[in-house]
């Protein structure tokens, strides 16, 4: 049994789309797909994903649709090898903005609708982030209770509880600097390449804009088991999936619970879509016995196809 995972903001890197657009035999179809995505979001995703520098693609309004578009292109390339995802996967989940790619993979929204919605999200969250200097830092290691107590003392929020000894703190930049200067015992503090305190009260102003855009869409019920960031539970309907996408903007991501659900449901393997790597790293520490592949580039397609052949049917 196989799960498909989609990474969140911070996974982006300069040039990450270039190898996908160079695929022999599928370049035309992926290129056309990307052009459709670019039209949907009103951004030159080709330039952003091939030639733009790290500072340019760190912009929240750019990073979010670019990451989701990259994930969906990688899924298309994989499906060209092994068939429709519904034929070989049983579940899908995405970390933060990656949940929009998961919603598309599960058939709740067409890819272009998911991207239009994530473009609204990215723009609204960028606007919210500009209102006050905030950010996020990963806290790796240490005792979980001690970490949470320390965050509370600094008026920071555990915006992402990722499992594997990683909690992401979010809040005002001075508080994050204080945390880095005096971290919890046996913990490291790593600043993340994001522009605001996502999944906290600082993003409240973005919720209404995304809710209004979501209300104009007509979702289908998931064709795969679709897990929510909020609590790791399976989403019951398309309407519930859209509601979850809206709620998660200002609520913590419980990726630890998503991983727990996947294990409880008997998932034996997981494929992380491009720009992958972060979620497979977490899975290796918390989903023991589950085989993982990070589909970082087309060079990983053969390994992903082999994994599917061994764990499906």
Residues 63 and 149 occupy one common structural domain: no
Are 254 and 273 spatial neighbours (Cβ–Cβ below 8 Å)?
no
CA gap 171, 192 in Å, rounded: 12
312 is catalytic: no
Helix 111-130 crosses helix 27-41 at what angle (to 10 degrees)?
Answer: 50
pLDDT category at 24 given cuts 50, 70, 90 is low
Are 235 and 245 spatial neighbours (Cβ–Cβ below 8 Å)?
no
Instruction: Single out the catalytic residue among 6, 71, 137, 199.
Output: 199
**Percentage of the chain exceeding pLDDT 90:** 88
Structure tokens of 144? 């979980």
Residues 211 and 283 occupy one common structural domain: yes
Helix 204-215 crosses helix 111-130 at what angle (to 10 degrees)?
Answer: 160
CA gap 15, 21 in Å, rounded: 11
Residues 163 and 213 occupy one common structural domain: no
- pLDDT at res. 122: 96
| pLDDT tens track for 268-286 | 999 999 998 999 999 998 9
How many domains does the structure of the chain reveal? Answer: 2
| Average pLDDT score, the chain | 94
| pLDDT tens track for 167-202 | 999 999 999 999 999 999 999 999 987 789 999 999
- pLDDT at res. 53: 96
Q: What is the mean pLDDT of residues 254-267?
A: 95
Q: What is the mean pLDDT of residues 112-122?
A: 97
Q: Do the bridges between strand 166-172 and strand 187-191 make them parallel or antiparallel, or are there none, so unpaired?
A: unpaired
Are 93 and 6 spatial neighbours (Cβ–Cβ below 8 Å)?
yes
Residues 156 and 115 occupy one common structural domain: no
Instruction: Single out the catalytic residue among 6, 96, 123, 297.
Output: 96
| pLDDT tens track for 35-59 | 999 999 999 999 999 999 999 998 9
Tell whether the model's pLDDT for residue 29 goes beyond 90: no
Helices of type H across 106-237? 111-130, 144-153, 173-181, 204-215
| pLDDT tens track for 223-245 | 999 999 999 999 999 999 999 99
257 phi, psi to nearest 5 deg: -75, -35
- pLDDT at res. 27: 46
Domain of residue 213, residue span: 2-130+200-311
CATH of the domain at 151: 3.30.70.250
């Amino acid at each position: 049994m196989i799960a498909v995972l989609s990474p969140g903001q911070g996974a982006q890197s300069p040039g990450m789309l270039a190898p996908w657009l160079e695929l022999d035999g599928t370049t035309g179809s992926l290129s056309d797909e990307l052009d459709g995505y670019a039209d949907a979001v009103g951004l030159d995703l080709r330039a952003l994903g091939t030639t733009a520098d790290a500072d340019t693609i760190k912009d929240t309004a750019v990073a979010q649709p670019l990451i989701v578009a990259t994930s969906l292109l990688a899924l298309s390339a994989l499906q060209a090898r092994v068939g429709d995802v519904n034929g070989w996967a049983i579940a899908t989940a995405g970390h933060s903005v990656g949940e929009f790619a998961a919603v598309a993979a599960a058939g709740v929204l067409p890819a272009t609708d998911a991207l239009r919605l994530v473009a609204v999200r990215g723009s609204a969250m960028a606007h919210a982030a500009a209102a006050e200097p905030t950010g996020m830092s990963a806290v790796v290691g240490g005792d979980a209770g001690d970490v949470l107590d320390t965050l509370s003392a600094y008026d920071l929020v555990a915006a992402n509880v990722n499992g594997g000894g990683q909690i992401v703190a979010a809040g005002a930049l001075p508080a994050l600097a204080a945390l880095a200067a005096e971290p919890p015992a046996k913990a490291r503090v790593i600043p993340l390449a994001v522009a605001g305190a996502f999944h906290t009260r600082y993003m409240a102003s973005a919720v209404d804009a995304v809710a209004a855009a979501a209300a104009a869409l007509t979702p289908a019920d998931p064709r795969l088991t679709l897990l929510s960031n909020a609590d790791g539970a399976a989403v019951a309907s398309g309407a519930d999936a859209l509601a979850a996408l809206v709620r998660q903007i200002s609520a913590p991501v419980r990726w630890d619970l998503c991983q727990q659900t996947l294990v409880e449901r008997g998932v034996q393997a997981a494929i992380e879509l491009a720009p992958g790597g972060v979620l497979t790293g977490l899975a290796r520490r918390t989903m023991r016995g589950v085989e993982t592949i990070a589909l970082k580039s087309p060079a990983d397609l053969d390994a992903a196809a082999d994994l599917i052949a061994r764990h499906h049917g």
